[in-house]
Every structure is written in structure tokens, then in C-alpha cells.
Chains A and B, each alone.
Chain A
Amino acid sequence: AQTVTQSQPEMSVQEAETVTLSCTYDTSESDYYLFWYKQPPSRQMILVIRQEAYKQQNATENRFSVNFQKAAKSFSLKISDSQLGDAAMYFCAYRTSKAAGNKLTFGGGTRVLVKP
């Protein structure tokens, strides 16, 4: 079974600065997807960024980028130019590429605090 581990329960960042969230996962599959989800205090989960395992290029979405290290099974999220609205819980998630059983397996989350 796949597992996802986020080792940082909480990270604090100054507004306009950069913070990096760590995520490691365990899988025996070679093709899969990785995601970062944001969950603000209102609790609605929002997709931040996704990475396909077969792609070597790291995904980028505006101020959000990932560092995907397939051999190390590592998938970190970098938030650049942090804004107050970035404060939330961030979850790393794994999904198999197979058509069946395509549930998301989540890590335990990292709380991001943004200081003005």
C-alpha cells in the first residue's frame, strides 16, 4: 500500500518570503500522480499543483513550484513571495495512474503560518 509522509507539522514564513514544504512517499509503482492540496480554515480543499511521475520537468503554477525527485520518492512544494492568503493546511497526496482504485492517499498535512 502507498503511504505519504509530511514530516513538518507546521511552518512559519514571513510575508513575501519563500517556504518549502516536504513530502515523501512510498510506492512500488512506476507511474502515478502527486498533488499538493491547500485547505484553508473554511475546510474546502483546493488543488494547488500536480505532477505526473513520467514527467521529468518539475511542475510550476504561478508562485507555487515543486521539486520532484522520483528516485528519492520526494515531492516538495515551494511557495514563493508568500501572501497572507497562503495561510492554510497543505496536504501532499498520491494517486495511482491505474484507472481503477484511483483514490487519493494523503499525508498528515503541514500548517503554514504567514507573518505580516
Chain B
Amino acid sequence: EAGVAQSPRYKIIEKRQSVAFWCNPISGHATLYWYQQILGQGPKLLIQFQNNGVVDDSQLPKDRFSAERLKGVDSTLKIQPAKLEDSAVYLCASRLGLTSYEQYFGPGTRLTVT
């Protein structure tokens, strides 16, 4: 079974530029999460989708971050414009459904904002 795919793996941009990350969850997984992991910290949830609907985006900085999962499969997270403090690893995870235990994580995208 293929795991959660993310691209790109690494991205370096200057502040005020835009960037987009892509995630393809495990086939059939209805729940998709985006986490932000700042160096030396644990991951923090940015947004959670159930199929193509948003369940929780309470910690998403909506003035600069946006995410979509239009067909309920893959998802895109965008930052526009980026700030220095956005430097982090962005992790995508998926789960089969609301009653399943395990979240499966992708390898992450390491973003450096200079």
C-alpha cells in the first residue's frame, strides 16, 4: 500500500513570496490533516479535512495560509505571503475515517524562508 505522498520535499523562498505544498493521502482515507512542525517542537495542527469539508481550521493563520481539498482526495496548502516565522516542516497525515485510530504521516516538506 502506498503511503502519504508529499511534494516538494524541500523549498527555499524569500519572505513575501508565495509557496504551495501538495499532499496525496493513502487511497480511501477520508480524513486529511496538515501540521506545522517548527524546529525543536512537536507538530501543531493547521487544518483538518473530512472528505472535502473543513473540520477544524482554528489554528490556521487565515490571513496568509489557505488549504483546499476540492475532490476529497489530494490537498494543497498555500502560504501567501510567507514570513520568516513560517520556516518549518509541513506534515500531511491521513486517516481512514473518524473511528480509526491511526494517522499515517507523509515525509513532510521542509520550508526555509529567508
Contacts and interface: CB of A to CB of B under 8 A. Distances in A.
Interface of A: 4, 33, 42-47, 50, 91, 93, 99-109
A107 B33 CA distance: 17
- Chain B residues touching A, range: 20 to 34
A101 B42 contact: no
A43 B108 CA distance: 7
A44 B41 contact: no
Interface in B32-63: 33, 40-45, 48, 55-56
A101 B103 contact: no
A104 B45 contact: yes
In the A-B complex, the 7 residue pairs with the closest CB atoms = A106-B42, A45-B105, A103-B45, A43-B108, A99-B98, A44-B107, A91-B42
Contacts, number: 52
Given A99-B98, A102-B98, A103-B56, A44 B108 contact: yes
Contacts of A44: 3, 105-108
Q: Determine the main DSSP class of A at the interface with B.
A: loop
A20 B72 CA distance: 40
Given A45-B105, A46-B105, A106-B44, 6 more contacts: A50-B101, A50-B102, A93-B42, A99-B99, A106-B43, A109-B42
Contacts of A91: 42-43
A34 B103 CA distance: 13
A110 to B, nearest CB: 10
B71 to A, nearest CB: 22
A50 B40 CA distance: 23
Given A44-B105, A45-B91, A100-B55, A107 B98 contact: no
A68 B103 CA distance: 21
A50 B103 CA distance: 11
Contacts of B107: 42-44
B89 interface: yes
